[in-house]
């Protein structure tokens, strides 16, 4: 089989480049090994690119990476517009932040059609296409319109919310209907998959039998494939990273003080405001913890041209400065707040240095930072994960300290509990999480999806034959 993986954002193979966002970083090692062709945006735009898709192609492990310049006239409406100002807020249950015009929607559809045209050049008789994430909901249908009969699968990295929330997306019916051109649609959690099926029956009134939807496109299977990480590799990397200069400098600067760490894209779904407020509350309620523990919060700038992101950046900068002003001392800064990205290598060492990992999104498809924090720990003296119950990762990492990110007092108490947790309990919780991570690796996720896609397509072809 000749696999073509498609995502808006792609990652190159350099180990020390800063990583922005879970999807591309997670896919890189498995796509590299699989020999697949990975197609995505180059991050550049080009006038008149609609006619002649231009791809820069380079080797990537056993396969190739093809980066396309997207059409200049439609890029903004597609990326900042419909994908990130209509779909992203809705998928994360923030319908109040939906801002998208009809023009944005048309640009989104144009870019999906453009990508379909570009993919045809990678099509062979034994090709299977695997489309990633909300940027390309309609890509499968565009490919089918161009005569592609091979397997086409789709995986959603974000949550899929309740049907009434999806109804906040302009043209939701048309889009979900287009998704049914896929043979297989994968979700991170059972809830996401059930919400999707619920939409299918309530809004599209289609028949569903054991996760298989029948529509004018034929049949589509919806199923759950929780994404994982290569925990063993990450653990080795973290142990090695302890001697990295950035990590050594952090350790020296702590002077025996404990450290909590948060690493997120600067995004409203990540619950950063509530998290900072919880630390503020903790230092107010437990003055003994001032000077004893600080928070290293890395908030990597993201989608900065969108107003909601700009507003959040200003709100956080002000909040962090208030909290530091209130609790700080001449020789102690409570929150070390950094607006930049770090490489996977450095991050793994930072995770291992911190006694508490704080991952408290309001909504998150999976959240791989939670998994990486666990994998990075020293088995002899592991740190504690404080995890939002609204992250997909909470389904597997159920021996983390699970919190409600809307309950600021509760989070403050839980972070204090994490800081005082005895070694035996830390180890017990950590070992249970590590076992889950080893069982649900990224390799397993990749292989399970690709196998299921081939099987679903083969069954479908067999039943649809006259």
Please give the positions annotated as active site. 157, 364
Cβ nearer to ligand G6P, comparing 30 with 323: 30
Helix/strand/coil for 246: helix
Note whether 387 and 394 are within 8 A (CB): yes
Task: CB nearer to ligand G6P: give 7 or 441.
Answer: 7
Comparing CB distances to ligand G6P, the nearer of 158 and 294 is 158
Q: In whole angstroms, how close is the CB of 83 to ligand G6P at the nearest point?
A: 8
DSSP label at 266?
S
φ/ψ bin of 61: left (φ > 0), alpha (ψ from -120 to 50), beta (otherwise):
left
In order, the DSSP letters of 20-69 are -SHHHHHHHHHHHHHT-EEEEEEEEEETTTTTS--EEEEEETTEEEEEEE
To the nearest 10°, the Cα dihedral for 82, 80, 142, 220?
A: -60
Tell how many helices (H) and how many strands (E) occur in the chain. 17, 16
420-443: b or e for each residue (b if 16 or more CB lie within 10 Å)?
A: ebeeeebbebbeebbebbeebbbe
Q: What does the DSSP 8-state code read for residue 342?
A: -
Which are the contacts of 92, defined by CB distance < 8 A and separation ≥ 6? Answer: 158, 159, 161, 268, 269, 362, 363, 364
Residue closer to ligand G6P by CB (options 87, 335) is 87
Residue 21 or 271 having the CB closest to ligand G6P: 21
Distance between CA atoms of residues 118 and 377, nearest Å:
43
Distance of closest approach, residue 308 Cβ to ligand G6P, in angstroms: 13
Run of H or E including 140: helix 139-145
Tell me which residues touch ligand G6P (CB under 6 A): 9, 20-24, 133, 157-158, 302-303
CA distance 420 to 406: 23
**Hey, what are 104's tokens?**
């944005």
User: Smallest distance, Å, CB 9 to ligand G6P?
Assistant: 4
**Distance (Å, whole) CA 124 – CA 406:** 50
User: CB 414 → ligand G6P: shortest distance, Å?
Assistant: 25
Minimal distance, residue 184 CB to ligand G6P, in Å = 19
> Is residue 231 a contact partner of residue 372, using CB atoms and an 8 Å limit?
no
Q: How far is the CB of 154 from ligand G6P (least distance, A)?
A: 13
Q: Are 312 and 266 in contact (CB under 8 A)?
A: yes
Smallest distance, ligand G6P to C-beta of residue 373, A: 16
Between CA 327 and CA 352 the distance in angstroms is 26
- Closest-approach residue to ligand G6P (CB): 21
Give strand pairing partners of 5.
Answer: 38, 130
Q: Which is nearer to ligand G6P, 21 or 153 (CB)?
A: 21
**Under a CB-based contact definition with an 8 Å cutoff, are residues 128 and 155 in contact?**
no
Indicate the residue among 229 and 259 with the shorter CB distance to ligand G6P. 229
- C-beta of 132 vs 355, nearer to ligand G6P: 132
- Shortest Cβ distance from residue 23 to ligand G6P (Å)? 4
């Amino acid at each position: 089989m000749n696999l073509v993986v498609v995502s808006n954002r792609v990652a190159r193979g350099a180990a020390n480049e800063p990583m922005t966002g879970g999807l591309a970083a997670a896919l890189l090692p498995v796509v590299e090994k699989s020999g697949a062709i990975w197609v995505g945006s180059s991050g550049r735009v080009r006038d008149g690119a609609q006619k002649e898709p231009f791809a820069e192609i380079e080797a990537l492990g056993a396969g190739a990476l093809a980066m396309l310049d997207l059409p200049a006239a439609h890029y903004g409406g597609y990326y900042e517009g419909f994908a990130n100002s209509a779909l992203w807020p809705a998928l994360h249950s923030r319908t109040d932040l939906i801002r998208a015009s009809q023009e944005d929607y048309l640009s989104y559809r144009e870019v999906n059609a453009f990508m379909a045209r570009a993919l045809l050049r990678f099509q062979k008789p034994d090709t299977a296409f695997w489309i990633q994430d909300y940027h390309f909901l309609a890509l499968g249908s565009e490919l089918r319109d161009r005569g592609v009969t091979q397997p086409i699968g789709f995986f959603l990295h974000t949550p899929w919310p309740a049907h009434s929330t999806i109804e906040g997306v302009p043209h939701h019916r048309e889009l979900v209907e287009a998704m049914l051109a896929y043979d297989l649609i994968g979700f991170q959690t059972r809830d996401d998959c059930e919400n999707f099926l619920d939409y299918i029956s309530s809004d599209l009134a289609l028949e569903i039998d054991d996760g298989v939807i029948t529509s004018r496109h034929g049949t589509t299977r919806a199923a759950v494939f929780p994404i994982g990480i290569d925990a063993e590799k990450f653990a080795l990397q973290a142990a090695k990273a302890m001697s990295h200069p950035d990590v050594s400098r952090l350790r020296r600067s702590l002077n025996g003080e404990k450290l909590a760490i948060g690493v997120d894209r600067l995004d409203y779904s990540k619950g950063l405001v509530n998290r900072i407020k919880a630390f503020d509350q903790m230092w107010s309620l437990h003055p003994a913890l001032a000077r004893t523990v600080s928070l290293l919060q890395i908030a990597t700038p993201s989608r900065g041209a969108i107003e909601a992101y700009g507003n959040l950046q200003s709100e956080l900068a002000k909040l962090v400065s208030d909290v530091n002003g209130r609790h700080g001392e001449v020789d102690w800064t409570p929150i070390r707040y950094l607006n930049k990205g770090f490489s996977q290598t450095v991050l793994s060492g930072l995770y291992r240095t911190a006694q508490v990992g704080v991952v408290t999104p309001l909504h998150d498809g999976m959240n791989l930072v939670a998994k990486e924090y666990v994998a990075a720990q020293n088995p002899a003296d592991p740190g504690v994960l404080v995890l939002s119950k609204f992250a997909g990762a909470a389904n597997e990492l159920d021996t983390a300290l699970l919190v409600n990110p809307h309950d600021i007092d509760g989070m403050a108490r839980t972070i204090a509990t994490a800081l005082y947790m005895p070694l035996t309990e830390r180890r017990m919780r950590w070992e249970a999480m590590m076992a889950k991570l080893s069982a649900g690796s990224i390799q397993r996720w990749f292989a399970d999806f690709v196998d299921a896609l081939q099987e679903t397509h083969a069954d479908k072809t067999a039943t649809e034959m006259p």
